[in-house]
Amino acid sequence: MSTPKYINPEIHPATTKEDKQKCIDVRVKVCTDELKLPIEYQTQNADDAICDHWLATAEEKDGERVPVGTIRLLRLNERVGQLGRLAVLSDARGLQLGKKLVYAMLEGAKAHGFKEVYLEAQSDKRAFYEKFGWVVEEADKETFITAGVPHYKMWMRSIPQEKLI
């Protein structure tokens, strides 16, 4: 059996300037280099300054801990937060990091007192978010285009109250 590239994954809130930059670096690798989305979405987004961010890291074989994933939470109003900029490096996928990042963000949403979490999912990620309970509502059943990619508006109208992570 081959050795996994990453071990001992961890997720923590990215509160320092250095960790926030690491979040952006992961987004650039995933969303710009891999998915070919415009780089301004990652590097010049004014909402970044008012979002909560989380950074996933993991150890490589040589023991060095490196950034492998990120997510952010934006306050839309006192009831509603928005999940955004979820990204896991391609060679770190399938390790439940995406799920743990979503759970960390949901715990953050509860801590802020949000009751609902909205997101805009790339259409091919709809099933990923449905696993957590987000739904495409009847009024939003058509996709819309952002950055040239079809997206669905999805809602979690009630956040699970049990501790997720």
Q: Which stretch binds ligand COA (CB under 6 A): 4-12, 46-54, 84-92, 152-160?
A: 84-92
Q: Which stretch binds ligand COA (CB under 6 A): 74-82, 108-116, 123-131, 135-143?
A: 123-131
User: Does 68 sit near ligand COA (CB under 6 A)?
Assistant: no
CA distance 119 to 116: 10
User: Does 131 sit near ligand COA (CB under 6 A)?
Assistant: yes
Q: Which is nearer to ligand COA, 78 or 159 (CB)?
A: 159
Asked whether 120 and 152 are in contact (CB, 8 A), the reply is yes
Q: Which residue number places its CB atom closest to ligand COA?
A: 98
User: Does 29 sit near ligand COA (CB under 6 A)?
Assistant: no
CB of 93 to ligand COA, least distance (A): 3
Report CA torsion sign: 90, 94, 97, 98: positive
Contacts of 60 (CB under 8 A, 6+ apart): 5, 6, 66
CB of 96 to ligand COA, least distance (A): 4
By CB atoms closer than 10 A (0-12, 13-18, 19+), residue 68 is buried
By CB atoms closer than 10 A (0-12, 13-18, 19+), residue 91 is exposed
User: Does 94 sit near ligand COA (CB under 6 A)?
Assistant: yes
Asked whether 102 and 132 are in contact (CB, 8 A), the reply is yes
User: Does 86 sit near ligand COA (CB under 6 A)?
Assistant: yes
Q: Which stretch binds ligand COA (CB under 6 A): 11-19, 41-49, 72-80, 121-129?
A: 121-129
Asked whether 102 and 82 are in contact (CB, 8 A), the reply is no
Which residues here bind ligand COA, judged by CB under 6 A?
30, 86-88, 93-99, 121-122, 125, 127-128, 131
